[in-house]
Amino acid sequence: MNPRLTLATAARVLAQLRRDPRTIALVLVLPCVLLWLFKEVFSAQPEVFQQLAPALLATFPLLIMFLVTSVAMVRERSGGTLERLLTTPLGKADLVLGYGIAFGVLALVQGLAASGISLWVLGLARPSSVPLLLLIAVADAVLGAALGLGVSALATNEFQAVQFLPAVILPQFLLSGLITPTSSMAGWLDAVSRVMPLRYAVDGMGRLVRSTTVSTTVWWDLGVIAGCAVIALVVGSTTLRRTTT
Amino acid sequence: MTAIDIRGLVVRRRGNTVLDHLDLAVPIGSVTGLLGPSGSGKTTLLRVLVGAQRRTSGTVTVLGRPAGDAALRKKIGYTTQVASVYPDLTALQNVRYYGTLYGIGRAAALDALARVDLARYADRPVGALSGGQVNRVSLACALVSRPPLLLLDEPTVGLDPLLRRNLWALFRSEAHEHGSTLVVSSHVLDEAAHCDRLLLLREGRLIADDTPAGLLSATDAADLDDAFLNLVLR
């Protein structure tokens, strides 16, 4: 691993994104519009929005970065650039971390936009720590990018990559406590949801918004997400093969 | 001095023998043409040299090290048959990114684009360039670090005759003036005359390993096209 090559790769991925203003607009604007829509749908029950918004702030980075990374990596694989990159001094870790950093930066901007809208326009209760809220969003995004990287090894084209979205994200979404509190789920569902990282992001964001102080549970949540992101990055990087048969 | 030394190389893929007991050597500072019809194993051989293809048996030594050795990654420039560049970046951004991987800056990237005659298009997104231009951006990404060994998979395919002549002049100058070793694959046999040495592959077997002049006299042919036909039909 070489920090200079890692950063060069992150800069290259960001330069590619910069040339794609439509994707940037979708990544930044879509979560804000959806949050506003939720607010309007539950205009008669404002307490529902207070409950839902933190969970949505946790879900968007995972969902969107998963999608963007899986498609970008399928392109690297099918376009021949991956094979070529792996014949250069670039390490696998440089490539994987480069992607993680680039989408982490994008997630930070997305988190700022989505939480800014929620707090100052849509009237979400002020969280006990805004930086921690953003930190969870970024860790969550890096996790999404890492999962996308892993899935790109199973998909042979962009069509398939997109199909993996419901398979990887939807179960996490259902079991995250967003639809039903995890405490009221059947025991085995609760157990399954405990190994799904989105649960911790939803839990952490919810605690930050509901409470005026930062509890240690939030730090644990953040640690679990960051740990899952690291594991997913390591597993994802093993799918990059220098030698094939 | 040999840049590449191959002994008893066999590659089997799903029961098919793609490369069948190859023995060959490539001298340093030369342009070697790797010729043969499509499907004859040219790309597989280049992928073996770059370390991307698993071998079934045989030893392959590249610049004094076993093929695929990590130390070789700094010393080989490689282009795949399909231009492996990023269409959403400019020509210069592509070459600069590859240059950075070898610790090389902007001036060298501009120089590499000038060598493939694309200096004017440096700031054009690759997606807006023609097929032949995209191929040359990919080539510039391999040239940028001035590697001692260049492995180029069909770099002249689909280019007009003038451009092809210029590229072959570039390949010869990289070898004869800068001391690089080049292995250039092509399925266009009339490009053979530009090479110092020729390797002719057919169905995974090496059927000729000679200089263009040597090949003509060995086959008693009037031109290289005839020489190849004589060999293939023999």
DSSP three-state, residue B57: strand
Output the CA–CA distances (angstroms, integers) from residue B121 to B85, B118, B221, in the order listed: 15, 5, 43
Q: How close, in Å, is residue B214 to chain A by CA atoms?
A: 34
Q: Which residues of chain B from 55 to 74 reach within 8 Å of chain A, CB to CB?
A: 68, 73-74
Contact B88 A86 (CB under 8 A): no
**A9 is in which domain, residue-wise?**
3-238
Torsion of CA A194, A195, A198, A203, to 10 degrees: 30
Half-sphere exposure of A62 (CA within 13 A, CB side): 30
B199, pLDDT greater than 90: yes
Number of DSSP helices (H) and strands (E) in chain B, helices first: 7, 10
Chain A residues within an 8 Å CB radius of B55: none
Q: How much is the pTM? A: 0.89
Identify whether A83 is part of a domain: yes
Contact B68 A242 (CB under 8 A): yes
Average pLDDT score, chain A: 89
Identify whether A95 is part of a domain: yes
Spatial contact of A115 and A133, defined as CB atoms under 8 Å apart? yes
pLDDT digits (tens, 9 = 90+) for B31-89: 999 998 888 999 999 999 999 999 999 999 999 999 989 999 999 999 998 889 999 99
Q: Does B93 touch chain A (CB under 8 A)?
A: yes
CATH 3.40.50.300 is the classification of domain B1-75+148-223 = yes
**Pairing of β B31-35 and β B197-202:** parallel
Q: How many domains does chain A have?
A: 1
Q: Does A12 touch chain B (CB under 8 A)?
A: yes
Helix (H) or strand (E) holding A19: none
Residues B139, B159: Cα–Cα separation, whole Å: 13
Q: Which residues of chain A from 80 to 139 reach within 8 Å of chain B, CB to CB?
A: 80-81, 83-90
Mutation to test the B interface, candidates A99, A240, A243, most B Cβ within 10 Å: A243
Q: Does A21 touch chain B (CB under 8 A)?
A: no
- Nearest chain B residue to A9 by CA distance is B97
Identify whether A198 is part of a domain: yes
pLDDT digits (tens, 9 = 90+) for B146-189: 999 999 999 998 788 888 999 999 999 999 999 999 999 988 87
Q: Residue A5: CB partners within 8 Å, gap ≥ 6?
A: A89, A90, A91, A94, A98, B100, B101
Q: How close, in Å, is residue B88 to chain A by CA atoms?
A: 6
Chain A residues within an 8 Å CB radius of B82: 79-80
- Number of neighbouring beta carbons within 10 Å of residue B38: 9
pLDDT per residue as tens, chain A (245 positions): 889 999 999 999 999 999 888 988 988 999 999 999 999 999 899 888 888 888 888 888 899 989 988 998 898 988 889 999 999 999 999 998 999 899 889 988 998 899 889 989 998 888 888 889 889 988 888 899 889 988 888 888 888 988 998 888 888 888 888 777 878 888 888 888 888 888 899 899 989 988 888 889 999 999 999 999 999 888 888 888 888 77
The domain locations on chain B are 1-75+148-223, 79-146
Question: Letter for the amino acid at B167?
Answer: L
ipTM confidence score: 0.89
Contact B54 A245 (CB under 8 A): yes
